[in-house]
Amino acid sequence: MIGLKRDQVASAKRIVVKVGSSSISGDNSDQITPLVDALAEAYGRGTEVVLISSGAVATGMPFLDLEERPNDVATQQAAAAVGQNVLIFRYQESLDRYEIAAGTVLLTEGDLLNEPHRSNTRRALNRLLDLRILPVVNENDTVAVYGLRFGSNDRLAALVSTLISADLLVMLSDVDALYTKPPHLPGAEKLDVIAADDPLTDFEFSSSGATGVGTGGASTKVVAARLATNAGTAVLVTSTELAGAALRGEHVGTWFEPVDGEDERALL
């Protein structure tokens, strides 16, 4: 498979978009509207779009009168159960403006790594896309068991991208791109393009998110990007506010060049 080039983004046939919790929950819940605008624009030109959305726990927290992400598993599960319902309602309410229907897909790690669950998941996602439904995918935080979790939705997004042979994975967060070191530190420089064979040994990537509601960071995005690019899917890392520009093919964010040729072993 010949990997997607940066100047071909607008013509990509299948795109996976991942958005982090802090970008669409709490004070930023109103960012769902411009995000949906960007997804709908791509959808409108015929692109198949899958949204990987974090945020179930963060969205559910206010309904449980929680100011911080809970530490115990049971309360996290309760917040996820409430928040997932609210989150998909907000997405569908915004998608209604474009007469686009969302389909909720909640996954555990075994659904993507073990047969026959893996094949069933691929078939379900492909059928939703065939029917012009926009899948909204998240980890099933209400039932997922520690030790058998994705670790972050960045990894979930990479695994889904490879499962359905997406042309492009766009990972959105609060930062406009990846930097040579955490962007608040002196001397941090924006990374424009990362070649498929770049070992990335000279850079310092943070291992945690900037807020208390998410679980990802720059390092998880790099690992997920490598997982996807090794299977032939190009990756773009940028901020949620630049989602529209990213999906139109404008030169934003950090571009990970894909490895030519798809290798299913990259999933393991």
In this predicted model, what pLDDT tens digit does every residue of 45-79 receive, in sequence order? 999 999 999 999 999 999 999 999 988 989 999 99
> Is the pLDDT score of 263 beyond 80?
no
> Is the pLDDT score of 266 beyond 50?
no
> Is the pLDDT score of 211 beyond 50?
no
Domains of the chain: 6-267 (3.40.1160.10)
The answer to whether the CB of 70 falls within 8 A of the CB of 62 is no
In this predicted model, what pLDDT tens digit does every residue of 70-111 receive, in sequence order? 889 899 999 999 999 999 999 999 999 999 999 999 999 989
Annotated binding-site residue numbers: 18, 54, 141, 153, 173-174
Tell me which DSSP letter residue 180 carries.
S
Question: How many Cα atoms are found within 13 Å in the side-chain-facing hemisphere of 202?
Answer: 5
Annotated binding-site residue numbers for substrate: 54, 141, 153
pTM over 0.95: no
The answer to whether the CB of 235 falls within 8 A of the CB of 207 is no
The more confident residue out of 87 and 148 is 87
Sheet holding 134-139, edge to edge: 102-107, 134-139, 48-53, 14-19, 168-173, 234-239, 254-256, 193-194
Annotated binding-site residue numbers for ATP: 18, 173-174
Nearest residue to 187 (alpha-carbon basis) of 206, 210, 203, 207: 203
